[in-house]
Amino acid sequence: MMPPADSAGFEPPPYPYDRLVPLREAAQRHEGGCVDLSIGTPCDPPPAAVVAALGASDLERSYPLSVGSDAYRRAACAWMQRRLGVTVEPEHVGACVGTKELVAGLPHWLRLRAPHRDTVLYPAVSYPSYEMGAILAGARAVPVPMDAQWRIDLDAIDDADAARALCLWVNTPGNPAGGLDDLGAAAAWGRAHDVPVFSDECYVEFTWDGPRHTILEHGSAGVVAVHSLSKRSNLAGVRAGVFAGDPDLVHYLREVRKHAGFMVPGPVQAAAVVAWGDDEHVEDQRTRYHQRLVRLREILAELDIPCDLPGGGFYLWPEAPDGDAWALARRLAEDLGVLGSPGEFYGAAGARHLRLAVVAPDAAIELLAERVAR
């Protein structure tokens, strides 16, 4: 039966980056075009061997395993062992089609598992899909305040919200502000409150302050780490990630996702094995991003826009001199042809800041420097 015409159905809000179209047009008018630092989409090449593996897998015909092939999960485990120092069994890993679909779908699946709970806790200034996943599941999205270093403030979580929580999201290094959370504290908080903690670690390879950390260093009980090849290996276009950790949670998600038909395509799984297996390209990418962060910071300093280098990730997060990030975004687009993302996209508490992703080639960043010099 059709619902009554006046029932209020879900109306998708404008997609944040669609709101930048007028600014992109203004930036595009500059000679040399727009230097687009708005979306965190990689511009550098993935390793040639990974691209070759996509074409040579011979895995097009049959359905791929939803949980990920043995080789896919083993390669991810070997990477976690090498780069993060943790031992994870392949049975405690599942594949995801990039991590955004997992982030956006998770509250729905966790609600099926715990129907009496209805709340998603997530950092107040963060990747918008944590909130959107809650909204899409008809759950309550409750932002958790952050401290002055853009770390999640676990003490600020209300006990009543914790009692209703399907999960707590943490993201370190954090998008957009580059903060580094205490993941041991997050795991302990989750265990103390009986709330699963999902740790989005997709920027872990680009940790600048101190060693790389995963929540799995603190045991797997009640916690799940989420990893992606999008940023690590410049493979956002092929869609490959994993979730790993608590055996019961991972088992549940693997089973539900199998029924729902989530599958990383076979050729992508084969290519991902090659990508997880190589660290040299990641070291090259680390050098590129770090150099660009330093260079862009110098350019901003010439414009009297000071900012710190992030603890991790590939974003600068300057505060607008007068606190109006939309005005700063407009000024930069119109005067210099560079596009950033107003911090409001990541939560009201970020509204005074602008996010600039160093995902443009070095030549584009130098073009920006030339425009500033003129």
Ligand X SMILES: Cc1ncc(COP(=O)(O)O)c(C=O)c1O
Query: How far apart, in whole angstroms, are the C-alpha atoms of residue 127 and residue 147?
Result: 17
Query: How far apart, in whole angstroms, are the C-alpha atoms of residue 257 and residue 373?
Result: 53
Query: How far apart, in whole angstroms, are the C-alpha atoms of residue 233 and residue 210?
Result: 21
CB of 163 to ligand X, least distance (A): 27
Contact 293, 316 (CB under 8 A): yes
Instruction: Number of residues interacting with ligand X: please give it, by CB under 6 A.
Output: 14
Please tell me whether residue 175 binds ligand X under the rule CB under 6 A.
yes
Q: Which of 99, 199, 220, 285 binds ligand X (CB under 6 A)?
A: 99
Binding flags for ligand X, 239-278, as an x/- string (CB under 6 A): --x-------------------------------------
Query: How far apart, in whole angstroms, are the C-alpha atoms of residue 268 and residue 286?
Result: 23
Bridge partners of residue 228, in order along the sequence: 241
Binding flags for ligand X, 24-43, as an x/- string (CB under 6 A): ----------------x---
Residue type, 290: H
Please tell me whether residue 202 binds ligand X under the rule CB under 6 A.
yes
Q: Could you tell me the two tokens for 61?
A: 């015909």
Measured on CA atoms in the order 20, 21, 25, 31, is the torsion positive or negative?
A: positive
Which CB, 30 or 254, lies closer to ligand X? 254
Please tell me whether residue 341 binds ligand X under the rule CB under 6 A.
no
Please tell me whether residue 312 binds ligand X under the rule CB under 6 A.
no
Please tell me whether residue 230 binds ligand X under the rule CB under 6 A.
yes
Question: H/E element holding 316?
Answer: strand 315-316
Which CB, 30 or 100, lies closer to ligand X? 100
Which CB, 236 or 250, lies closer to ligand X? 236
Please tell me whether residue 171 binds ligand X under the rule CB under 6 A.
yes
Which CB, 204 or 270, lies closer to ligand X? 204
Which CB, 336 or 358, lies closer to ligand X? 358
CB of 152 to ligand X, least distance (A): 13
Burial call 218-246: b when 16+ CB within 10 Å, e when fewer: bebebbbbbbbbbbbbbbbebbbbbbbbb
Query: How far apart, in whole angstroms, are the C-alpha atoms of residue 308 and residue 297?
Result: 8
Name the segment binding ligand X (CB under 6 A); options: 54-62, 93-101, 207-215, 348-356.
Answer: 93-101
Interacting residues toward ligand X by CB under 6 A: 40, 98-100, 103, 127, 171, 175, 200, 202, 228, 230, 236, 241
